[in-house]
Amino acid sequence: MEVVNKPTISFEYFPPKNEKLAQTLWDSVPKLAAFDPSFMTVTYGAGGSTRDNTIDVATQMHEKTGIPIATHLTYINTPRKELYALADHLWEKGIKHIIALRGDMPKDLNWPLDPDADYFQYTSHFVAALKARQDFEISVGCYPEKHPDAPSLDKDIEALMKKIDAGADRAITQFFFDNNLYYDFLEACAKMDIKAPICPGLLPIHDFSSMLRFASTCQTTVPDWLVEKFDAVKDNEQDAKKLATELLIRQSEDLIKNGVNHLHFYTLNKCAITDEVCSALGYQAKAA
């Protein structure tokens, strides 16, 4: 598929936990950076568990590729003073794009938090504070099927609107496999007069069983037809990879045909599948 006005693209990575995973990451980064993404993102572990590693990886990525880097930053159960110090540190390191998120709720944490404590209660407040601190570019998360903790999709979209009104530049969705869920979500957001870009998050399926577990946690719908297709290739790794690639190409093509102007890929630190999809969509990898 050769697209005249191709969407911009971006890639997400996570900090590796050991040397083997680090090798996979650093093998993948330059190969995908060659497609000239508008930015790349680095995730942040629950409760800030990978904080130092996140900043190190993000800084190295920027130095190695020259591509703008965004780091996830979660505020749950972290004092404001500590978050401000982190934000200042990122800015000084040249990281000027933040993915502002609540983060996973600790099981032993009572909600709402103590209003007199020095913590952010809502992502919209966090976004506004970051914008006031420095002129960060800020992305936030959104959920075509609603956040698992939200009482309803309408309430979740109201929360998204508050994040955008607070200064977020764009929203990036949780992954999905049925594009109609995304299109319906866009329509619902438009009715709420949300005008900021809502970028689809796309997940290459490297391991179907792992994806199912992740989808269950996120409460993401996995269509029956998808289960049937992967069940048919469960004993053939190459056929499974080919299927995953073909399906992601098809999903991306449909999004582009329907006017999407940015695609965000959750790479899982692997260039396989994502690089083939980008090539099939007409993106040219630059020579190193």
Q: Which residue's structure tokens are 């936030």? A: 140
The string of DSSP codes covering 33-98 is HTT--SEEEE---GGGTTHHHHHHHHHHHHHHH---EEEEEE-TT--HHHHHHHHHHHHHTT--EE
Angle at 269 between CA 122 and CA 221, to 5 degrees: 60
What lies within 8 Å, CB to CB, of 165 at 6+ separation is: 124
Catalytic residue among 12, 82, 92, 158: 12
Q: How many residues are given for the chain? A: 288
- Is residue 82 part of the annotated active site? The answer reads no
3-state class of 245 per DSSP?
A: helix
CA distance 288 to 244: 27
The string of DSSP codes covering 186-199 is HHHHHHTT--S-EE
| Cross-strand partners of 23 | none
Query: H-helix or E-strand containing 146?
Result: none
Q: Which residues are catalytic?
A: 12
